[in-house]
Amino acid sequence: MSTTAEASVHNPRYREVRKVTVVGTVVDFVLGVAKIVIGWIAHSEALVADGVHSLSDLATDFVVLYAARHSHMDADEDHPYGHGRIETLATVGLGIMLILVSFGIAWDAVSRIGVPDLLFTPGALALVVAFLSVLSKEALYQYTVNVARRLKSNMLMANAWHHRSDAISSIVVFIGVAGAMMGYHYLDAVAAVVVAVMIAKIGLDLVLSSTRELIDTALEPELVEAISDVITHVNGVRALHMLRTRRSGGRALVDLHLQVDPRISVSEGHQIGDTVRRKLLEKFDEVTDVTVHIDPEDDETESPCDHLPLREELVERLRTQWSEMASIDSEDITLHYLSGKLQVDVALPFSVLDQYDDPVQLVQQIERSAKTIPEIEHVQVCFRA
């Protein structure tokens, strides 16, 4: 077993998913077999269809277990954002499986409705099994959906609704069997069709919701607003733009651009970004990854400084302008890229003043010569120890 796979096995979230799914697997197996056997003995097509539905739950339980194990593996070199999309793909698979099962059930039931001789009259035992199925599957739904909400797992929520669909379909079966026993023989087949339509609707909803996640649809508007509110209340954040969110399995990923004071140090800007990241991870359980980009100005619609030269080229041009003046090192120069122009701060050592009788004239010469470079808008000279 790989290290990442071992880590997923010991992941608390995975253990909870596995526990609730194993319980569902046992219940689905017992109910599925019981419905099919009793349905066959008691001549209830609706109950047999419901049994197939329960066994489809059993199949999806195995898919959930597999996906949960692998989706909780740690991020690696090939999957730097983790393996959460395995859970999303599994949810799509569950939805497609439900749709296919529903078509099979509906096809068989409709073909029988058209031929009265093929319709059955169920026995009382089918009624009892249908009633027990309603109780057990509703209890299983409540158990699974509570865990799904706590873990914020769409895959578990999908499986919970799989259980709920079985409970609802068992109610329909109960009505259909009771009607057939009272002489309305077609009601059993009609109940099977209704069950199939319900299953198909749930399957389609699951496919659509998970497909939205696969194409990186943003988080819910109210959640995005809450995330934005936390960010903008961090000290040092001047503005927020380009906030982007998406889901990956039960996790939420966030990346954003923060506008801070352009005159602060790189380390202070980094500290502000780290604070934003920490607060989001603490405030929102589903947020597991935050990428922060620090900006000195709003670059959402355009990047006005794209045409400006980088330090190496600019310093070389400045040295050419200052060649007949004080010797200025690259470390003495601080560059500010703002509003499509350069602002240059020059910090000269006091020792330079020993070479000049008039320091004011020196400052003026430095500023004037630097401004001959078109990209430079402002130059500020100061002296340091």
Residue-wise pLDDT tens digits, 222-253:
989 999 999 999 999 999 998 988 877 667 88
With 70 as the cut, is the pLDDT of residue 185 above it?
Answer: no
Beta partners for residue 337, in sequence order: 342
**Residue appearing with tokens 């503005």:** 239
CATH no., domain 3-214: 1.20.1510.10
Choose between 82 and 294: higher pLDDT.
294
| Distance in angstroms between the alpha carbons of the first and the last residue of the chain | 62
Look at residue 255 and give its three-state secondary structure.
strand
Q: How confident is residue 57, by pLDDT bands cut at 50, 70 and 90?
A: low
**When comparing pLDDT for 318 and 286, which is higher?**
318
Joined together, the tokens standing for residue 286 give 């589903």
> pLDDT, tens digit, for every residue of 89-100?
777 877 887 788
SS3 state of residue 384: strand
Residue 83 has pLDDT above 60, yes or no: no
Nearest alpha-carbon partner for 82 in 4, 158, 147: 4
Domain boundaries, the chain: 3-214, 221-295, 311-384
pTM, entire model? 0.57
CA–CA dist 178, 182 (Å, integer)? 6
Q: Please provide the CATH number assigned to the domain covering 221-295.
A: 3.30.70.1350
Region 10-21: mean pLDDT is: 73
Radius of gyration of the chain, Cα coordinates, nearest whole angstrom: 34
**Which uninterrupted H or E stretch holds 244?**
strand 239-248
Q: Which of 61-70, 186-195, 298-307 has the lowest mean pLDDT?
A: 61-70
The pLDDT of residue 91 is: 74
pLDDT of residue 1 exceeding 70, the answer is no
Residue 31 pLDDT grade (very low, low, confident, very high; cuts 50, 70, 90): confident
**Pairing status of strand 239-248 against strand 251-259:** antiparallel
Q: Give percent of the chain with pLDDT exceeding 90.
A: 12
Question: Would you place residue 346 in the very low, low, confident or very high pLDDT band (cuts 50, 70, 90)?
Answer: confident
Task: Flag whether pLDDT at 327 surpasses 60.
Answer: yes
Same topology for domains 221-295 and 311-384, yes or no? yes
347/42 Cα distance (integer angstroms): 94
pLDDT for the residue 25: 81
- Element (DSSP H or E) covering residue 315: helix 311-321
Tell me the pLDDT band of 293, cut-offs 50, 70 and 90.
Answer: very high
Written out in words, the top-level CATH class of the domain with range 311-384 is: alpha beta
CA of 329: how far to CAs of 175, 349, 381, in Å?
A: 89, 10, 14
